Structure 1
Amino acid sequence: MSLELAFELMMMLTSGCALLVSAWLFWRARNRRSMKALAGFGIMMALWCAGHVAVFYGQHGLGMALILANPLMPTFFLDFAIGFVNQGPGQRPWLGRLARYRGLLYAAAVLVSLLTLWQGGGDIIAFGPFEHYFVFRGSGWFNIGYTIFIGVLAHALLLWGFARQRGNRRRSIAAMFAAGAWGLLLATSFIFPSLGLLWYPWPMLLLPSYVLLLVYGVVRYQMLEVNAWANRALLWILMTGLLLGLMVLFSAMAGRLGMQALAAVPQWQLWLYSLLLLMLALALYQPVSKLVERLIYPGSRLDEQLLDTWLAQLRDADGWEALADAAQRLLARQMGQPVTVRLLTRPPLFEPSPGLELWCLHQAHGWQFRLRGFDDVTPGMRLTAEVFGSLLATRCGLLESSLQLAEAERKRVSEQHLVELGGLSAAMAHELRNPLNIISMATAGLEADRKAIIQDQLKRADRLIVDMLAYSGQLQIQPRPLALAPLLESLRPRFDWQQVSFDYCLPDNYHLYADPYRLQQVLTNLIDNALSFLRNHPDGRLRLEGGDTPGVLWLHNNGPAIEADMQAHLFRPFVTRRPGGSGLGLAIVQRIMEAHGGHIRHRHDAGWPVTFELYFPEEPTS
């Protein structure tokens, strides 16, 4: 192979590697502009190498245009450095302003390239094995000087960031400097012919390694996939080198030690020896693989036994709180430091805490995990968190399905029970009202006192029948936007307040999305229930407030507080502390709220002895 062909192949290989890496970076960058700028740097390097290949094939105009466009290469790298350094806490305003005017940097690079091309900033010469080789002339030195200046500026910015960054970002900057030193060493030989030193640019033959080392140094602490790729690549490089080294060793020793018999071995026997060496390499594969894994992922100890342990303990959790506690305990034990695990049905509104956090989010396409605060941990520890997060997300999906099935079965049994109770209640109402009507008519000739006592008991029995029918019947709601203040005013005349004060505090034009009849039923039951305790209470007060969240109402009263043992059973049917009550009022209210998709609960932290919180969902947007 001629030296010119070797140089040409290395330029093609560098161009191909740069294009592939840039395409992968651009695909993985998503919304990370700094990584897109690094992809642009790789594309410009690919075009720069393609310019040399074009010169070799006699396309001098195209080749010179691509080579003289090299100011764009450090400009992309400077754009990357600005975005890379100015991330995380402690962002600098002056870097933000510089980022906003990055378009001027690109415009300047294009202008320098066009001017030097127009002024004829390069020439094509022949020397050594090269028939066509590009050298700088005249204004081309300004081109290369501007390129060097922008490159120095980008690395100075990285040096400034190195002094201020911590953790993985600091490690990435150190890796960039190491790759930059290697690239400078390789590229220096390209300039020698322009200085009159007609030396073959041997270091340029290793230029493909610069692209890979630079990109790997940047993203090894940012993207876990790169480390997995490097793990496999380094493994096969070591294995191939080991095999070749052993073959060379045997060949060299045979000649130098006078092993003529070995030197005269037939060709088929050499193939047999190679096969034996290959088997030896396969035997060394496992220990070498473990060594490489420790180099790439230091501190990582993942095996099948550990994964089985994780799966078993996550599977034992039968609820969301238990699952979060188990996950937090397992991951913290493996990481050797505290880790917060959050299981969320929607993206949180709060800011993440400074420590390590693993979030499992329920999204449209299933459960997904996110890592927060893991930027500064080693790649091995991040790999551990990634694997654990994947297992936890899978377990969240299975637990959700299990709970949904259990809830569906509970609702089915409850609905079946209500159907049976509804039929029984309707039959009982019919059978009871007939004798009650007869008793009511029979009291017509009694004294007034006796008649009043009997009529009160008949009303109580009728109210119990009505409550049973309301609780056991099918609830059909037709929600619509409803102004609350007029409804409250219309309810005032219906109650015997007996010196109990009632007021409400609502935002202007306060609306609820609710069924008017059912909302009236809810308020009537709650107010009537409160009045039964407040009428005998001095300075009784009842107050309705609109909560800070839309659709939330708080109904307060200063009556006697609800006993602790009663609070857990408030909304169960036939449980009451009200004299003469049926025990169905709050149970009916709960059914109505659930039919709306809302809820009711007792609050003891609102500053009043008794507070009920009601929540009505907002009106759907579509």
Structure 2
Amino acid sequence: MPLDLAFELMMLLTAACALLVSAWLFWHARQQRSMKALAGFGIMMALWCCGHVSVFYGWQPLGKLLILANPLMPTFFLDFAIGFVNQGPAQRAWLTRLAKKRALLYVAAIFVIAISLLGQGGKVLAFGPFSHYFVFSGIGWLNIAYTIIVGILAHALLLWGGHIHRGNRRRSIAAMFAAGAWGLLLASSFIFPSLGLHWYPWPMLLLPSYVVLLVYGVVRYQMLDINAWANRALLWILMTVLILGIIALLSSMAGQFGMQALASVPNWQLWLYSMLLLTLALALYQPVSQLVRRVIYPGSQLDEQRLDDWLQHLAEARDWSELSTIAEQLLRQQMGQAICVQLLPAQQPEQRASGPCIICAYHAGGWQSRLQGFDDVTPSVRLAAEVFASLLTTRCSLLERSLQLAEAERKRLSEQHLVELGGLSAAMAHELRNPLNIISMASAGLAPDRKAMIQSQLKRADRLISDMLTYSGTISVQRQPISVLPLLTSLREQFDWQAVILELRLDETLTIYADPYRLQQVLINLLDNALSFVRNQPDGHILIEANTAGYIKVHNNGPAIPPNMLAQLFRPFVGQRSGGSGLGLSIVQRIMDAHGGHIIHRHNPPWPVTFELYFPKDI
């Protein structure tokens, strides 16, 4: 290929690349002033290259105008640099003022261009393979000097921005410097003839890569969709290089294997045909892959919009039950059939499902998902379920962290509240017990029935004060092995059972690890609560059973707890018991938490009310 034609083709290719990326920037960065300036830089690059082509074809006035418009290129780039650097925490007042006066930069550039045109800042000569080539002369060197100075200012501003910015913006600046160094290396050969060095500008043949690398280096960290385009472009380049090598090898060896027709075809024609076929294959790859997907997975339409919609709806869940409900609704909308979803945080058993089910469980420090009952479904349904299960697994992990943070914050606020309540309770207890003691002493001389009534109410008041101090104080435990049956037997004598039956169903040797005093508090509170509800029943019955796994269950056949109270059962000052403080179950829960265990309410037929205590085995 003639060298002048090669140079002309590279100039046209550079112009085409610059126009394409500028159009892309205008379309995708309509709201970003700095990106528009970068698009302007690309347009000026395209016009500058078209100026050279115009000179080649003898259109000298147009060619000189476009080439001498050179100062607008760094001016657009300086405008871009001002807007790109002056963002976020790095904003500076002087940059803001400069940005408001950016029009003066363009006026100065146009002034230099006008002087260059009026002063005949260049001429056209012939050298080497070129019959027409533009070189700078006279006032044209002012044009070149101004262009270089503005370019240096723009890159100096970017260098300063690289020191004050962090993250992706700093990475973009580093990429711009790498592309700028590459562009300087390529463009330096353009002015050799202007210096009297009539060398062929070989580096200019690679100029198309400069504008593409520059724009890609800027936007790859700012716009994610450009990376998908770059992935396809790099694939095309690598495949092109590979095919060119294979074609060259086949062409050189074709004659040795008797394929004279192939050997006689010029290499450039083979390369051209191969690149055309490769370009066509890459262009058809996406629609063909979609067609194949529809054939293999009919009915499956999993596009980015659908996945974003799934993620958005799953992110609305605030607890496990809500997440499971939302997931089942999304699956029903996508697949047209009911598919159950089981979310199993740590220590939750799996339930048997009759139909297709997605199970997300926490195992070995992470969330894992699996499909169950999908053997007879269509491939499209299974594919959609697998993709959905992957998204659901990620959401489970995020929800678990969110719940853990919320629980930690709740505990922090609860502890802060208890500290404040503890100080207030201690002061109130001191102030209340003094008048109560005076009342008790004053009642000593009253009639026995009045004295008994007053003493009863004083005991109740003292119990309320004690419960308040216990709830608001710090609960510490000293865990040790305790034989449960002897402890329960000793507590039997502390209550007025009347006609209530107390049944102990546990082994004599059963031992749990707990604080003796705190365990006694727990059992007294639970038995006292149970007695208050079953004592007036003719068949009152309380059963305590335990096992070696650390569970103690306290059953009673009193009235069932109303459903509207279950959610606040362990909250302070909430209860149905007449004359109670409303702190009994709250105190029990705090003691169990201090042991690292828990207390839960269960409906365990035939018992209307069951409280289950769990004490960990390890000390």
Under TM normalisation by the shorter chain, which class is it? 0.5 to 0.7
1:467 is aligned to: 467
The offset of 1:526, in angstroms, is: 2.0
Q: Aligned pair in 2 of structure 1 residues 347, 373: CA closer, same or farther (>3 Å)?
A: farther
CA distance in 1, matches of 2:372, 2:533: 52
Find out whether 1:362 has 2:362 as its counterpart.
yes
TM-score of the pair, normalised by structure 1: 0.53
Contact 2:344 / 2:350 at 8 angstroms: preserved in 1? no
2:490 is aligned to: 490
1:615 is aligned to: 613
The offset of 1:387, in angstroms, is: 1.9
2:435 is aligned to: 435
User: Which whole-Å deviations, capped at 9, do the CAs of 1:129-163 have from their partners, x for residues lacking one?
Assistant: xxxxxxxxxxxxxxxxxxxxxxxxxxxxxxxxxxx
Whichever residue aligns with residue 435 of structure 1, its letter is P
SS at match of 1:513: strand
2:588 is aligned to: 589
The offset of 1:295, in angstroms, is: 5.0
The offset of 1:272, in angstroms, is: 3.0
User: Which whole-Å deviations, capped at 9, do the CAs of 1:63-107 have from their partners, x for residues lacking one?
Assistant: xxxxxxxxxxxxxxxxxxxxxxxxxxxxxxxxxxxxxxxxxxxxx
The offset of 1:324, in angstroms, is: 1.3
User: Which whole-Å deviations, capped at 9, do the CAs of 1:421-468 have from their partners, x for residues lacking one?
Assistant: 111111111122222222322333333333333222222221111111
Contact 1:522 / 1:589 at 8 angstroms: preserved in 2? yes
CA distance in 2, matches of 1:349, 1:510: 26
Please give the residue correspondences for 1:175-574 in structure 2 after superposition, counting only pairs within 5 Å: 266-294=266-294, 296-346=296-346, 353=353, 355-377=355-377, 379-507=379-507, 509-546=509-546, 550-563=549-562, 565-574=564-573
Contact 2:570 / 2:589 at 8 angstroms: preserved in 1? yes
Contact 2:475 / 2:591 at 8 angstroms: preserved in 1? yes
SS at match of 1:494: coil
Please give the residue correspondences for 1:29-48 in structure 2 after superposition, counting only pairs within 5 Å: none
Contact 1:513 / 1:616 at 8 angstroms: preserved in 2? no
Whichever residue aligns with residue 551 of structure 1, its letter is G
CA distance in 2, matches of 1:475, 1:280: 75
Contact 1:352 / 1:372 at 8 angstroms: preserved in 2? no
The offset of 1:565, in angstroms, is: 4.8
Q: Aligned pair in 2 of structure 1 residues 263, 557: CA closer, same or farther (>3 Å)?
A: closer
CA distance in 1, matches of 2:610, 2:540: 16
1:155 is aligned to: none
SS at match of 1:485: helix
CA distance in 2, matches of 1:453, 1:518: 31
CA distance in 2, matches of 1:565, 1:292: 55
Contact 1:514 / 1:616 at 8 angstroms: preserved in 2? no
Contact 1:467 / 1:582 at 8 angstroms: preserved in 2? yes
Whichever residue aligns with residue 615 of structure 1, its letter is L
The offset of 1:377, in angstroms, is: 4.5
Whichever residue aligns with residue 289 of structure 2, its letter is S
CA distance in 2, matches of 1:566, 1:543: 23
The offset of 1:296, in angstroms, is: 5.0
CA distance in 2, matches of 1:314, 1:378: 25
CA distance in 2, matches of 1:351, 1:579: 40
Contact 1:573 / 1:583 at 8 angstroms: preserved in 2? yes
Whichever residue aligns with residue 546 of structure 1, its letter is A
TM-score of the pair, normalised by structure 2: 0.53
Contact 2:549 / 2:617 at 8 angstroms: preserved in 1? no
CA distance in 2, matches of 1:533, 1:372: 46
Contact 2:368 / 2:393 at 8 angstroms: preserved in 1? yes
CA distance in 2, matches of 1:516, 1:574: 26
CA distance in 2, matches of 1:318, 1:602: 23
Contact 2:597 / 2:616 at 8 angstroms: preserved in 1? no
The offset of 1:580, in angstroms, is: 2.7
The offset of 1:517, in angstroms, is: 1.2
User: Which whole-Å deviations, capped at 9, do the CAs of 1:156-176 have from their partners, x for residues lacking one?
Assistant: xxxxxxxxxxxxxxxxxxxxx
The offset of 1:294, in angstroms, is: 4.1
CA distance in 2, matches of 1:360, 1:597: 26
CA distance in 2, matches of 1:450, 1:290: 92
Contact 1:590 / 1:600 at 8 angstroms: preserved in 2? yes
The offset of 1:490, in angstroms, is: 0.9
The offset of 1:559, in angstroms, is: 4.0
The offset of 1:306, in angstroms, is: 1.2
CA distance in 2, matches of 1:559, 1:380: 55
**Which has more radius of gyration?**
2
User: Which whole-Å deviations, capped at 9, do the CAs of 1:363-387 have from their partners, x for residues lacking one?
Assistant: 3342221222334555544332222
CA distance in 2, matches of 1:544, 1:601: 15
Contact 2:530 / 2:556 at 8 angstroms: preserved in 1? yes
The offset of 1:303, in angstroms, is: 1.4
CA distance in 2, matches of 1:611, 1:457: 29
2:208 is aligned to: none
**Aligned-CA RMSD value:** 3.6
The offset of 1:487, in angstroms, is: 0.7
CA distance in 2, matches of 1:492, 1:464: 23
Q: Aligned pair in 2 of structure 1 residues 296, 436: CA closer, same or farther (>3 Å)?
A: same
The offset of 1:420, in angstroms, is: 0.6
The offset of 1:351, in angstroms, is: 7.2
The offset of 1:605, in angstroms, is: 4.2
SS at match of 2:461: helix
CA distance in 1, matches of 2:541, 2:529: 13
CA distance in 2, matches of 1:618, 1:324: 30
Q: Aligned pair in 2 of structure 1 residues 272, 389: CA closer, same or farther (>3 Å)?
A: same
CA distance in 1, matches of 2:532, 2:268: 106
CA distance in 2, matches of 1:584, 1:406: 24
CA distance in 2, matches of 1:562, 1:264: 96
The offset of 1:343, in angstroms, is: 1.0
CA distance in 2, matches of 1:399, 1:348: 16
The offset of 1:396, in angstroms, is: 0.9
Q: Aligned pair in 2 of structure 1 residues 357, 477: CA closer, same or farther (>3 Å)?
A: same
The offset of 1:493, in angstroms, is: 1.7
CA distance in 2, matches of 1:420, 1:475: 15
Contact 2:602 / 2:612 at 8 angstroms: preserved in 1? no
CA distance in 1, matches of 2:495, 2:337: 61
Whichever residue aligns with residue 614 of structure 2, its letter is F
CA distance in 2, matches of 1:322, 1:454: 53
CA distance in 2, matches of 1:529, 1:270: 94
CA distance in 1, matches of 2:538, 2:290: 80
The offset of 1:497, in angstroms, is: 2.4
Return 5+ residue gaps in structure 1 as ranges.
1-234, 248-260
CA distance in 2, matches of 1:273, 1:564: 78
Whichever residue aligns with residue 618 of structure 1, its letter is P
SS at match of 2:315: helix
Whichever residue aligns with residue 411 of structure 1, its letter is K
SS at match of 2:493: helix
CA distance in 2, matches of 1:347, 1:533: 34
The offset of 1:527, in angstroms, is: 1.8
Contact 2:602 / 2:611 at 8 angstroms: preserved in 1? yes
Contact 1:598 / 1:614 at 8 angstroms: preserved in 2? no
The offset of 1:491, in angstroms, is: 1.0
Whichever residue aligns with residue 592 of structure 2, its letter is M
Contact 2:485 / 2:508 at 8 angstroms: preserved in 1? no
Q: Aligned pair in 2 of structure 1 residues 613, 410: CA closer, same or farther (>3 Å)?
A: same
